[in-house]
Structure formats: structure tokens, C-alpha cells
Amino acid sequence: MARRVTMQRRLAFTALAWGVALLLFFPILWTILTSFKPEAQAIASPPAIIPDWTLENYLTVQERSDYFRHFLNSVIISLGSTLLALLIAIPAAWAMAFTPTPRTKDILMWMLSTKMMPAVGVLVPMYLMFRDFGLLDTTFGLTIVLTLINLPIVVWMLYTYFREIPVDILEAARMDGAILWKELVYVLVPMAVPGIASTLLLNVILAWNEAFWTINLTASKAAPLTAFISSFSSPQGLFWAKLSAASTLAIAPILVLGWLSQKQLVRGLTFGAVK
């Protein structure tokens, strides 16, 4: 009897999980399906679920804009800002995890609190600074901004991972003659690889998806895929199939990356929580 209840429960939970997953994924699925429909079919009512399979929209999108340039900008900005953030955050998290002061917790909270600030509140001063320093519409400027925006999360994640590493091992390295940078490069970083990898992945995804600053601080030269989509939505807003094709192109790289690394991501995000 008990076994049957368990079986029913399991079936119910599986169905529920599939339902929730489909609900969450449905907008993306619909976008992808729509991108393969001819324009007329895309706006047809009632909507057709199975498209008539055409690549015309993708060809038009590539003809009318320069997808690959935007794609390259996205890659430069998200990878650049992630690597820069790791370069700053690894020593910072090391200091906070292994040589904490009575103020360390407060500093960490303060760093996190900056994430709660509405970005639009500092848009004007940031814009003016970018204009004066000649950083508007440059990948360099965007890399700096995204580094700063995601730095608190990167420091926090690495801090959590580093705290799991026994301090004895780092002290052993010091006794073995390792100076600070060797201790970091030969001992800490290799031991924290799973944590650093998931931090890197998450940060690339966050940077790739960041839209507010990338749209507001670029015009055309440095515009990444987010800006490309937003620019596409006004003149082509009524052409759903083409807009869907552009959206699919924008999210595809990160979708594939996320899919390939989901195991690593889940492991990283639950690091320390499950032993």
C-alpha cells in the first residue's frame, strides 16, 4: 500500500516538474518556433504550433544588420568583464576568507547592498563620466562597467568557495616556501577550480544578458546582442518572425553554453550546501 502511494507521489511530482519546466521554457520555445515561420503564419490567429519551416527570417536578419559584429562584441564584453572580475575577486576573496578582520562581514554586506541600488539612479552621472572619458560606445568602457556591476557577486561566490578550503593547506604552502602569488596560483586556484569555473560561467551569463547599461552606453560600434535586439524591435517590431529570429540568434550561444555546463553550474551553486 505504502509503495503505491510513493509511486503515485513520484508520478505527480514528475508531472508537476515537467509542467513547471515547460511553463518556464515556453516563451523561449515559442520564440524559436516563430523564428522558423513565414511572417503571415507568425501573426495568424489562431496561432499555428508547427511552423512551415523557413530560414528566410534568419537570412533577412543577417542582411539587414551585422549579427556577427554584435555577437563578437558580446563575447568580448562578457568574457573580458568576467576575466577582469576574477582577477580582482580572487585576491579579494582570499583576503576575506583567510585573513578576515572584524569588519570583513560588513564589507561583504556593503558590496552586496550595491546590487540593490536601482541602476537608473546613477545613469546620468555614469553617462556623463563615460562621455568625458571618451568611453561611450566602446567595448572597453562596457567591460569596465560590467566588471564593476558583477564584482560583488563574484567576490561573494569565491569567498563562499574559499571558506571551504582548509587554511592548513595554505599555511603548509607558505611553510614550503611559497610566496603569496605562488600560494594562489599553485595551491588555492587549483583547489578551487570547480568554484571558480561555476563563478566564471554564471558571470558570463549575467554579463551576456545585461541589457540596461549595454543599451544605454552604446550606439552602434560597441553594441552587443542585447542592444542589437532592442534596436531591432523598433523598426521591425511588427515583424514577429524576424524579431524572433534575431532573438533566437542572440540567446542561442548562451543557451548552448548553459546547457553544456549545467552540471558544473548546479554543482557550483550548491557547493558547500550539500556535503
Partner 1 sequence: MGSITLEHVNKSFGEHAVIPDASLEIEDGAFVVFVGPSGCGKSTLLRLIAGLEDTSSGLIRLDGEDVTRKGPAQRQLAMVFQSYALYPHMTVRQNIAFPLKMANVDKAVAAEKVAAAARVLNLTDYLDRKPRQLSGGQRQRVAIGRAIVREPKAFLFDEPLSNLDAALRVNMRLEITELHQQLRTTMVYVTHDQVEAMTMADKIVVLNAGRIEQYGTPMELYRSPANRFVAGFIGSPRMNFFEGAAADNYAAFAIGVRPEHLTISREAGEWEGTIGVAEHLGSDTFLHVDVPGAEKLTVRTDGERDFAHGDKVFLTPDPGRIYRFDKDGQALR
- Residue indicated by cell numbers 573580458: 80
Q: Which is nearer to partner 1, 52 or 176 (by Cβ)?
A: 176
Which residues ranging from 166 to 195 are in contact with partner 1 (CB under 8 A)?
166, 168-169, 171-179, 182, 186-187, 190-191, 193
- Least Å distance, CB 242 to partner 1, is 50
> Shortest distance, CB of residue 204 to partner 1, whole angstroms?
24
Name the one range near partner 1 by CB under 8 A: 10-18, 19-27, 164-172, 245-253: 164-172
Please work out the total of residues on this chain that contact partner 1, with binding judged by CB under 8 A.
Answer: 18
- CB burial of residue 17 (10 Å; 0-12, 13-18, 19+): exposed
- The least CB distance from residue 268 to partner 1, in Å, is 17
CB nearer partner 1, residue 93 or residue 192: 192
Residue closer to partner 1 by CB (options 14, 101) is 101
Q: Are 245 and 62 in contact (CB under 8 A)?
A: no
What's the min distance (Å) between Cβ of 194 and partner 1? 11
Range list of H helices, 114-166: 123-132, 139-162
Stated as kind and residue range, the H or E segment containing 195 is helix 193-209
> Minimal CA–CA distance to 246: which of 50, 39, 32?
32
CB of 90 to partner 1, least distance (A): 16
Separation between Cα atoms, residue 141 and residue 123, nearest integer Å:
14
For residue 224, which of 68, 92, 93, 95 has the smallest C-alpha distance?
68
Q: Measured between alpha carbons, how far is 211 from 207 in angstroms, rounded to an integer?
A: 9
Least distance between partner 1 and beta carbon 253 (Å): 31
Residue 83's H or E segment, with its range, is: helix 67-98
x/- binding map, residues 197-226, to partner 1, per CB under 8 A?
------------------------------
**Residues in contact with partner 1 by the rule CB under 8 A:** 166, 168-169, 171-179, 182, 186-187, 190-191, 193
